[in-house]
Amino acid sequence: MERAPRRDKYAERRAELGEAALQTLAELGYARTSLREIAQNSAFSHGVLHYYFTDKLDLILCSVRQYKARCVTRYDEVTEQSTSFAQLVDGFVGVLGETVRTEAPMHRLWYDIRSQSLFEEALRADVEAIDKSLANMVWRVLTRMAELAGSPVRAPIDLTYAMFDGVFQQCLQRHMAGDAKAIATMQGHVRLLVEQLIAAPAAAAAAPPARAPRKRKPAEQAA
């Protein structure tokens, strides 16, 4: 009866350390990161990290799993709250742009790990599981769009994910290289993909993207 709490505490500690390591991992990448390097850039000693993780691969997988577990729920709110096709498309491209703008190093780490899995067999099962969860995330958004549009998605889940993932990765590369238009370009490409995959309702197809309401100046408000 006493062992379960101990295991829970051990798992919680691993999760805490994995979270603390994310920033260093995101900055240095897979090849340049070691347990010692992570210890030097965190509040935890090398000995503590070695106690909870067998090697850097164990720690990296723990960190990336946690981050991607949060990522796959990123679009749930806009998906659940949108009541029209156009509203969901606007919300989806908005969140996509925001995550590149605010979390680019974390996304870079994911693509780094996924590329490394072509060489590191120990990474493949976890990368495949994460990739599947991301595909399901995109599919949830697209099937909700299809439901709101009253039209089916014209491609299977794997192809749909591959298209959106390719556009997202291309944007990430350009954004991190300093391209100020990368996010806006991606958002336009995503809209184009959605148009190709789902037949929009006539009203949504005719309407331009929704704009935020103009803020009234104090003088206008008083008039």
**Which residues, 6+ apart, have CB-to-CB distance to 121 below 8 Å?**
none
pLDDT at 172 over 70: yes
Domains of the chain: 1-63 (1.10.10.60), 72-202 (1.10.357.10)
What share of residues in the chain are helix, strand, coil (percent, to 5)? 75, 0, 25
- Global pTM reads 0.81
Burial of 100 (0-12, 13-18, 19+ CB in 10 A): buried
Confidence of residue 5 (pLDDT cuts 50, 70, 90): low
| CA distance linking residue 22 with residue 25, whole number of Å | 5
| CA distance linking residue 53 with residue 65, whole number of Å | 14
How does pLDDT run across 97-149, given as a tens digit for each residue? 999 999 999 999 999 999 999 999 999 999 999 999 999 999 999 999 999 99
